[in-house]
Amino acid sequence: MDEPTSPSASSFRALLQQRDFAWFWLARWTAVLAVQIESVALGWQIYEIARRTMDVKRAAFMVSLIGLVSFIPVLLLALPAGETADRHDRKGILLFCYAAEIASVAVLTAGAVMGFSTIPILLGVAFVFGAARAYFSPASTAMGPMLVPRELLPRAIAWNSLAWQTASVAGPAVGGLLIALSTGHAYGAALILYGVATVCTLLIRGSTQPTVQPGSRWSLMKEGLAYVWRNKIVFGSISLDLAAVILGGATALLPVFAKDVLHIGPEGFGLLRAAPSVGAAIVALYLASNPIRSKAGIAMFTGVAIFGAATFVFGVSKILWLSLLALAILGAGDAVSVYIRQTLVQLVTPDHMRGRVATVSSLFIGASNELGEFESGVVARFLGPVGAAVFGGVGALTVTAIWAKFFPALRKADRLD
């Protein structure tokens, strides 16, 4: 299937003609905006509480616990969540997850306003949020392709990525400004946005019930795992993301860099959090109208290598503009890798298996993001935040070279169609 060559505005209009996809896209944008604002506030609040009684290294470690605590329910629930997305109405699953997220951020809002927030309470909310995301991710990933014709799927993936990236640009910046007022304002804004996402999802009218395959829950989960393992392009792409981001996840330490390395306060912290998404949004906008047509594998490895190199530069920088530039380039490199991985996985996976394959992919992504945060905190405990970032950049570059050698099928992957 050849990619259309229409400009990005035309491709977006074609997608918006799919009414259900338009509501899905808007729900995704508002939900990601809420997640980003909540995440910024949570990281800042935990670091601020920890610094009252701890030094920089110990407080940085406490921030990294957010990632570990959020990942534990993802690890425990990933396989049943994928099987659930292949058996039950995917829109219903999303609505259930939104309800859990609304309840979680309501607790955060109340704690910030009434003054009862503690690190254990904040980490407990992060655990509940992680459980909701464990079910949300496979259901959302599997539901998107049901809302557009197959010929529009690569465009839809690119525009979904753009929704995520633009919200990720706005979210940290808005979150930083709101934190300057109070964390309660930030959590309250996230609460409203989750409500908007819920309403948009309710307006989706098409069927989102997958065709249920015969077999027990365990046999279906094993089938999904076996499919990912056999398809070396899929397995190589998602495991590359896992390894590179675990080692290069120094962005989890941004509260530390903002407060005690660059000394730029909450507003500057918001800029640091937004910078990777600025680079990623530029790439996503470009790919929405100029999809990768050949040498996709080489492009993916190049993106991961750029991610690693930019992480290293960010670690050694003591200048705000250079740090922001490094983070933007880091985000751009990661966006290329994510776009190729998502397109490969969704195009080659049949609909009745998308939930299970998506949950394996989500498990790897969750492991990379959340365990990457924890790894950075552990390394920072011994090497400091700067040493952790430098270590992560070198590690991501090393992983790129190893995967290029041991996954030749991924390296030689050509067209995304």
Angle at 159 between CA 165 and CA 325, to 5 degrees: 30
pLDDT at 236: 74
Pick the range with the lowest mean pLDDT from 46-55, 107-116, 336-345: 336-345
pLDDT at 393: 86
Query: In a 10 Å sphere around its CB, with 0-12 CB exposed, 13-18 middle and 19+ buried, how is residue 232 labelled?
Result: middle
pLDDT at 72: 83
- Got the DSSP string for 27-41? HHHHHHHHHHHHHHH
What gap in Å lies between CA 305 and CA 91, rounded to an integer?
A: 37
Q: How many residues does the chain have?
A: 417
Task: Give the mean pLDDT of the chain.
Answer: 79
Long-range Cβ contact pairs of 382-388 (< 8 A, separation 24 or more): 382/57, 384/56, 384/57, 385/56, 385/60, 385/250, 385/253, 385/256, 385/257, 385/260, 385/261, 386/261, 386/315, 386/316, 387/315, 388/250, 388/253, 388/315
What gap in Å lies between CA 123 and CA 260, rounded to an integer?
A: 23
In-domain check, residue 64: yes
75-95 residue pLDDT tens: 788 777 777 877 778 888 999
98 three-state secondary structure: helix
In-domain check, residue 375: yes
Q: Where residue 186 sits, what CATH number does that domain have?
A: 1.20.1250.20
Q: What is the mean pLDDT of residues 181-203?
A: 92
In-domain check, residue 303: yes
DSSP state letter for 216: -
Query: In a 10 Å sphere around its CB, with 0-12 CB exposed, 13-18 middle and 19+ buried, how is residue 100 labelled?
Result: middle
In-domain check, residue 2: no
Is the pTM for the entire model greater than 0.85? no
End-to-end CA gap in the chain: 6
Let me know: does 268 contact 262? Beta carbons within 8 Å: yes
Strands (DSSP E) found in 148-202: none
In-domain check, residue 34: yes
356-406 residue pLDDT tens: 666 666 666 655 666 666 667 777 777 888 888 888 888 888 888 888 888
Residue-number span of the structural domain to which 166 is assigned = 8-411
In-domain check, residue 124: yes
Pick the range with the lowest mean pLDDT from 133-147, 182-196, 236-250: 236-250
pLDDT at 4: 34
Q: Which two tokens stand for residue 330?
A: 């880091």
Q: How far is CA 181 from the centre of its chain?
A: 27
Cβ neighbours around 314 below 10 Å, total:
30
> What is the domain count for the chain?
1
pLDDT at 192: 94
% residues pLDDT > 90 (the chain): 14
What gap in Å lies between CA 370 and CA 385, rounded to an integer?
A: 17
In-domain check, residue 416: no
What gap in Å lies between CA 244 and CA 238, rounded to an integer?
A: 10
In-domain check, residue 389: yes
Pick the range with the lowest mean pLDDT from 167-176, 241-250, 297-306, 310-319: 241-250
| pLDDT score of 7 more than 50 | no
